[in-house]
Amino acid sequence: MCIVRSSVSSALQGMISKDSIETAYAFMHQKLRVYEHSTMDWQKDDIEMIIGSYADDINPELLTLLSGGRADFLKDHKKFQDDITHAVAVLEKML
């Protein structure tokens, strides 16, 4: 799931600031680590809500690159862990 289409990636990456990438990576990486190790459902729910809200405000080009155009990216409870894991992996490669 961590494959980024190179043609889309190249075109979009030029419109995304390094600061946007670094900020998104730091925030999502931190939340992913807590999410992965949490045993509290309420804490995981809070993280899903926070990241979903963050996705509403993230650089639109960056979100498109991470999501592959999927409208429910980082907002679907059933796919959340896969989505955030994918996002962190892609962002790490972009750093």
pLDDT for 92 beyond 50: yes
**Exposed, middle or buried, 90 (CB in 10 Å: 0-12/13-18/19+)?**
buried
Write down how long the chain is. Answer: 95
Cβ-proximal residues to 70 (8 Å cutoff; 6+ apart), any chain: none
Cβ–Cβ < 8 Å for 93, 34: no
Q: What is the pLDDT of residue 15?
A: 80
Q: What is the pTM of this model?
A: 0.84
Q: What is the pLDDT of residue 6?
A: 44
CA angle 84, 89, 95 (to 5 degrees): 120
Q: What is the pLDDT of residue 23?
A: 96
Rounded CA separation 2/89 (Å): 7
Q: pLDDT tens for residues 5-55?
A: 444 455 455 689 999 999 999 999 999 999 999 999 999 999 999 999 999
Q: What is the pLDDT of residue 10?
A: 52
